[in-house]
Amino acid sequence: MRIGRGPATVIGSNSRKPGHPPLAQRPAPFARKGEAGSPRVSRGAFFVSGGISRRNRGGFLKKFLPSRLHPAAFAVLAVLTCAAAPAYAQSATHSSPEPPAFREVADELGRTIRIPQQVRRIVSLSPSSTETIYALGLQDRLVGDTDYCDYPADAQKKTKVGGATNPSLEVIASLHPDLVLVTKLNRLETTQSLAELGIPSYATDPHTVADILSSIKTLADVLGAPEAGASVVEDMQRRLDDLQRRLRDLPPKRALFVVWAQPLISTGQHTFLADALRRAGAVSIVNSSQDWPQVNLEEVARLQPDFLVFAESQPGNASREVQKLGTLPGWKIVHAVRDHRYAVISDAVNRPAPRIVSAIEELARQLHPEAFAEKAGDTKKETEKENPPARPLAFAPFSWNPPHSPHGHSSSTGGCLCGR
């Protein structure tokens, strides 16, 4: 390209060293028809550098501009030429930095863990975490869970990694998870072994129903699904608010939640189960700072609860076991046993997951039927839909040996703590 008599160099043109043939012009990709192969032309300011001599510049300006505008034109050309070089160099050498591949989050035990920006493969070591993943619509990311993750039914089709307390680290590692979800009930050795394998674990540990809602929302944020988490929590909170409105003018029932029957294990005051009782319009007669205290049957007889509350272990199992209580030594003096005043609800109450609201509603309807008289038919259909009666209890094959149990009895009419 020539302007006047001097050679001009156009930025972006293809050239080679003297003695070499010029490079062939190639059509630009995605070029519009008629423009392929044509030199690129800037539609804004154009910059010409180092090829126009003083004489040529004067002739060029004299030809196109009046003489009185020549000094201003020279000044503008000099400014543009000086500004073009650093701007072009900066755009050529600087690119936007790539986002970091990992991020740090804090779990509910206060641990700081390092996880990928996008969590695409998840292993769950608790039924409650598995249920939450499904409620968030992230089941396609779940590549493995425990033998006792039984809800929803599709969770039983996932690759099994063993039990919550004794999972197979080899199976977990073979699944190449980005994150393993655990609870406080999983063994510390498990999380330490996962860390040694370079597999991060995120722990949840809610102690109230409000904590469960907060835990679900935070987990959804960690997994990159904040909208789904907000939607699930909003629905749970709406139902809890409606329940509170129905029960606010009714006196609470005094209840004994039977976690284990022989020996008798109940729930303390600082667990989500105790909070679930309160939200269902009941108050536990057990006033203990321990989470799962062993209770003296004579003390129960002295306090005389209005209701005994049981979580269904298998369809019809709780009802049959409750009938047996009247034949056991000591239980006959408990008026609730004598008068058959007991409530049997879904084992969902044992799991800090979205379905716990359904279990709370179910218990409230049994303790305070008068608060639901006008909508009894509709609420019953909703409960049956969310809690199919044929579903077995998680961890039902396991027996839990509570503290101070010399023989490790395996029979129970209540829920199992392992179901979390």
Q: Would you give the distance in Å from CA 250 to the centre of its chain?
A: 36
Predicted local confidence at residue 232, as pLDDT: 98
pLDDT band (50, 70, 90) for residue 181? very high
Write out pLDDT tens, residues 223-276. 999 999 999 999 999 999 999 999 999 999 999 999 988 889 999 999 999 999
Tell me how crowded residue 327 is: count the other CB atoms within 10 A of its CB.
9
Q: 102-205 is classed in which CATH architecture?
A: 3-Layer(aba) Sandwich (3.40)
Cβ of 396: how many Cβ atoms within 10 Å?
Answer: 17
249-419 and 102-205 share a CATH fold: yes
Region of residue 317 (phi > 0: left; psi between -120 and 50: alpha; otherwise: beta): alpha
Task: Please name the residues in contact with 64: beta carbons below 8 A apart, sequence gap of 6 or more.
Answer: none
Residue 206, judged by CB atoms within 10 A of its CB (0-12, 13-18, 19+), counts as: buried
Per-residue model confidence as pLDDT tens digits over 189-211 = 999 999 999 999 999 999 999 99
Asked if 305 and 255 count as a contact pair (C-beta separation under 8 A), the reply is: yes
Task: Express as a percent the part of the chain with pLDDT over 70.
Answer: 64
- Spatial distance between the Cα atoms of 314 and 160, rounded to a whole number of angstroms: 22
Dist CA 378 CA 242 (whole Å): 15
Residue 364 pLDDT > 80:
yes
Report whether pLDDT(289) > 60: yes
- All residues at 6 or more sequence positions from 34 whose CB lies less than 8 Å from its CB, including other chains: none
Model pLDDT, residue 320: 73
- 129 — phi, psi (to 5°)? -65, -40
Q: Mark 177-201 as b/e (b = at least 16 C-beta within 10 Å).
A: bbbbbbbebbeeebbebbeeeebbb
pLDDT at 307 > cutoff 70: yes
Q: What is the pLDDT of residue 333?
A: 87
375-395 pLDDT, tens digit each: 545 555 555 555 554 333 333
Q: How high is the pLDDT of residue 13? A: 42
Residue 346 to residues 153, 179, 362, 383, Cα–Cα distance (Å): 16, 30, 8, 10
pLDDT of residue 394: 33
pLDDT, residue 321, reads 73
Q: Is the pLDDT of residue 183 over 80?
A: yes
Measured CA to CA, the distance from residue 190 to residue 167 in angstroms comes to: 8
pLDDT band (50, 70, 90) for residue 83? low
Please give the mean pLDDT across all residues of the chain. Answer: 78
Averaged pLDDT, 17-40: 43
Across 70-84, 278-292, 314-328, 383-397, least confident range: 383-397
Residue with token string 């039977």: 258
Under DSSP, the state recorded for 133 is H
Alpha-carbon distances of 225 from 105, 109, 139, 216, 360, rounded to whole Å:
15, 22, 12, 11, 26
Instruction: Tell me the fold of 249-419.
Output: Rossmann fold (3.40.50)
Beta sheet of 342-345, edge-to-edge order: 282-284, 253-257, 307-311, 342-345
Q: Which of 80-89, 298-307, 313-322 has the highest mean pLDDT?
A: 298-307
Pairwise pLDDT comparison (171 vs 75), residue with the higher score = 171
Instruction: Please tell me which of 354-358, 403-407, 415-419 the model is most confident about, judged by mean pLDDT.
Output: 354-358
pLDDT band at 100 (very low <50, low <70, confident <90, very high): confident
CA-based nearest residue to 146, from 154, 133, 134, 155: 155
How many percent of the chain have pLDDT more than 90? 56
321-360 pLDDT, tens digit each: 777 887 887 888 899 998 989 999 999 999 999 999 999 9
Average pLDDT estimate for 165-191 = 95
31: which DSSP letter?
A: P
pLDDT at 52 exceeding the cut of 50: no
All structural domains of the chain with their residue ranges: 1-19+45-86, 102-205, 249-419
State the amino acid at position 245 in one-letter form: R
Residues contacting residue 141 through CB under 8 Å, at least 6 positions apart: 119, 120, 121, 122, 133, 223
- Cβ atoms of 52 and 6 closer than 8 Å: yes
Whether the bond between 22 and the residue before it is cis, its omega within 30 degrees of 0, is no
Best-predicted range by mean pLDDT (18-27, 87-96, 152-161, 391-400)? 152-161
